[in-house]
Amino acid sequence: GLTTVQLGFQDFAGLKKNVVMTAEVLGTDQARSQAIKYIAYLEKNLKLVSERTDSLSDDQRPKVLHIAGGTDVTKVDGSDSIIGEWLKAAGAKNSIDGVANYKNISLEQIIASQPDVIIVGNSDAQMGIDTIKSDTAWADVPAVKNDKLIKNPVGTFNWDRYSAEEALQILWAAKLFYPEKFSDVDLVKETREFYSTYYGYDLTEDQAQRIINGQGPAAS
């Protein structure tokens, strides 16, 4: 007999809509205030990244392959997804076009897409990176040859999908692709402030760095 609300998004507009709807469901002034503050923070980060990358030519933008998780390295997130959204926002190109999220494609398609960078999501990302490095079929992919195999940050959830941490993902991705353009962005500081503001949790510098590195909590 409970009222239910279905939430989901595949772009930043949908994320903002979900945040507003969640605040309305909670129905408190604090929730509405936090929603407004969060959307302003998200939009500020999008604007910052856009201002620094919009003038780049197509040739200057890296081709990026995003693999959903480490257990299946042929399950990818294409351009028609929230992953495609933040890749584009951060000044990159998705090497797999016209595909939605969580889609299996052939290894031949992946190799043909010639990604400059490969990002592996989920808490098991290292497994995927180890699989790719040990398989000679991947050897001539530019990202493999140039050691550009990256674990996506994982915090309260995977930063790359369906999380409020999408606002941090944009900064992380832009700094990854263009370190010289975003050298002034302190990701540890941003992460600690974000968790304190929106989750009411104070991270140490080490905890924030582990999240950014896609590592789990340190053993106690």
Q: Worst-scoring range by mean pLDDT, 26-35, 76-85, 139-148?
A: 76-85
Residue 208 to residue 33: CA distance in whole angstroms:
25
pLDDT band at 218 (very low <50, low <70, confident <90, very high): confident
Tokens of 49: 């990244």
Q: Residue 96: which of 86, 82, 109 has the closest Cα? A: 109
The pTM (predicted TM-score) of the whole model is 0.94
Q: Residue 195: which of 212, 186, 208, 182 has the closest Cα? A: 208
Q: Residue 64: which of 8, 4, 121 has the closest Cα? A: 121
Tens of pLDDT, residue by residue over 107-157, are 999 999 999 999 999 999 999 999 999 999 999 999 999 999 999 999 999
Residue 212 has a CB neighbour count (10 Å cut-off) of 21
Q: With 0-12 CB in 10 A as exposed, 13-18 as middle and 19+ as buried, what is 126?
A: middle
Q: What percent of the chain has pLDDT over 70?
A: 100
- 52 versus 217: which is more confidently predicted? 52
**CA gyration radius for the chain?**
18
Q: Residue 138: which of 151, 149, 127 has the closest Cα? A: 149
Mean pLDDT for 27-55 is 97
